[in-house]
Structures are given as C-alpha cells and as structure tokens.
Amino acid sequence: MNIMIVDDIKSSRTILEKILHGSFDCSTLSAESGKEALAMLSSQRPDVILLDVIMPNMNGAEFLRILRNKNKWKNIPVVIISGQDERSVLSDFASMEVSGYLFKPFTVQDVEGIMNPILKKISPSLPSANV
Amino acid sequence: MKSIRTIVAYGTKFFAQYPALLSGYIIYSYLFISMVRLFIKARYFGATLSDAYDIFSALPFMWFLAVALVKVIDYRSKFHDSETRRMNSEIELQTKVTQLNTMHEVVKGLQHQVNNPLAIISLAIGQTKRSVGNNPMVIARIESIEHAANQITSALQKFSESGRYESERIDDVVGSIATIP
C-alpha cells in the first residue's frame, strides 16, 4: 500500500507519514506542491492521495482537476486536507470526485477513521487501524 | 448676469425654507395691486360693487393657490429629508457590510494560518498519547496541552462564525441593518 501526502508544510507531511506508518502497513510518498506531486505520479502510482488545498505552485483543486482528467490516475482515491472554512472547501470540490475530507485541526482518530474504509476497499485483507 | 443668478438661487433657497412667507408675499402683492386698481377706478371712473367683485374675485383662488404652494413645498422638503436620511443609512449599512466582509476575510485567513500548526499539535498529541502508555503524570500534561489546543480551535471557530451576517431591511425610512444571526 502506497499513500501520497501532498502538503506544503513539511512538519504536516512528517507527522502524517509517522501516523500512517504507525496505523497502517504502508509506505508513503510526499510532495510539497501539486506540481511536484504530478512529477512524482509519472514514475509512481500511489493507492491513495492525501491532498492539501492551499499550496504554492499549483493548489489542491488544480491538481485534482488534472488528476481526474487523466485516465490512468482518475480512479485514485483522494482525501482533501484543509485548514479553511468547511463550507467553502466543500463547495470548491463539490463537482470533483473526493473520497473524504479532513478539516484541520484533526486528530489521529480522524485520520484513521477516514483512511480505514478507503484502504479496506482497495485491499480487503488489510487489517483495520485501531480507531 | 452672475449676480442675478446668485439672487435667484438665494431667493429659491430662502422661499424653499420659508414657504409660508412666499405665499404671504403672493397674496399681499395681489391684494395691494387689486386695491390700487380699485382706488384708480373709483377716483377717475367711479366704481360700483360689481367692479370691486371683478377686481377681488381671484383673491380666494390666490389664497387657495398659496396654501397649496405651502403644502407642496412642505411635502417636498419632508420627502427630501427622508430621502437624505435613507441614503445616509444605506451608505452607513454599506460601510458596515464592507467592514464585516473584511473582518470575515481576516478571520478566515487567520483561521487557516492557525489551523495548520494546530493540526500538527493535535496529531503529535495523539501520537504521544499512544506511545507513553499508562504514565498518569505524562498523560495529564498531554491532556492539558490538548485542552488548550481545543480552546484555541473553538475560540477561532466561534469568531469565524460571528463573521456570518445578513442584511435585513427593517423599514423603508430607516433603511437596512446588518444583523448577526
């Protein structure tokens, strides 16, 4: 299982990586912008993407639009991470296929609660994290 | 030419301010002219009661016209005042709406900036809680940090929600007010 974290804040990426490694049997990829994530996607295909909304050099919405328009990437589940107002984020992504939302500040349990069903769907034999 | 215009402008302004004075001038001018006419007619040609009636017959209409003029000017100035009040309240409301919009944007920006480190704190707390096991002293300290972080989160949320407002028309004269639901 391979999870990609796209967030411009390094410490956010680091702590999410630690949590994902601790809770699930997975490897992680991390990118600090949509542009960098797209470059990574050409060589590696993650099973799930955790995507921040506000980032320099291509934000989350632009990245997701490109992702959904490419046949080889359009089925990758994407979880939106945002520190913005819930209503504005939900309306921004209403037209795009999103697997879940994590609104900052969220807890370890929130991450596991969102990731468990997504990962189970991809790999039913995967043991659930202890939520 | 300019001085005539100035006098006319001054006169218009003066009579708009004191409409009863204008109607008084009209009636008394008419009365004065009529009396002069009657005097001349009586002195040089001899005047009958019928002549007096002819000369003064328009007086009730003049009186009626003057009263109507007073009412119209009065109504106009009242309307002008209420329009000015309404426009001022509209401007005031617009200013308040702009201020609230700006405040809401600032709060949203602040919320985003604060939520990022708060998320890291929250995740770190969760991870630490799991790794310390059952050490009550450490857990109590972690919980106090968690409590403080939650307080920041809820304070920001409350502040952000108070930025929501709607404009409500309460009266045509008073205009509208901005209310926080």
Q: B119: which chain A residues are within 8 Å (Cβ-Cβ)? A: 12, 83, 104-106
Cα–Cα nearest to B146, from B120, B117, B122, B130: B122
Cα–Cα nearest to A18, from A124, A128, A111, A93: A111
SS3 for chain A is CEEEEECCCHHHHHHHHHHHHHHCCCEEEEECCHHHHHHHHCCCCCCEEEEECCCCCCCHHHHHHHHHHCCCCCCCCEEEEECCCHHHHHHHCCCCCCCEEEECCCCHHHHHHHHHHHHHHHCCCCCCCCC
Domain boundaries, chain A: 2-122
Query: Residue B104's closest chain A neighbor by CA?
Result: A85
CATH classification of A2-122 is 1.10.150.390, yes or no? Answer: no
Model ipTM over 0.95: no
Chain A, 78 to 97: residues with Cβ < 8 Å from chain B are 83-85, 88
One-letter amino acid identity for B89? Answer: S
Per-residue model confidence as pLDDT tens for chain A (131 residues): 899 999 999 999 999 999 999 888 889 999 999 999 999 998 999 999 999 998 888 889 999 999 999 888 888 999 999 988 778 888 888 888 899 999 988 889 999 999 999 998 887 776 666 54
To the nearest 10 degrees (0 to 180), the angle between helices A60-69 and A34-41 is 30
Q: How far is A65 from chain B (nearest CA, A)?
A: 23
Whether A22 and B127 lie within 8 Å, measured CB to CB:
yes
Chain A, 3 to 32: residues with Cβ < 8 Å from chain B are 9, 11-12, 15-16, 18-19, 22
Domain boundaries, chain B: 2-86, 88-179
Q: B118: which chain A residues are within 8 Å (Cβ-Cβ)? A: 104-105
**Residue carrying the six token digits 């004191």:** B18
The 10s digit of each residue's pLDDT in B110-145 is 888 888 899 999 999 988 888 887 888 888 888 999
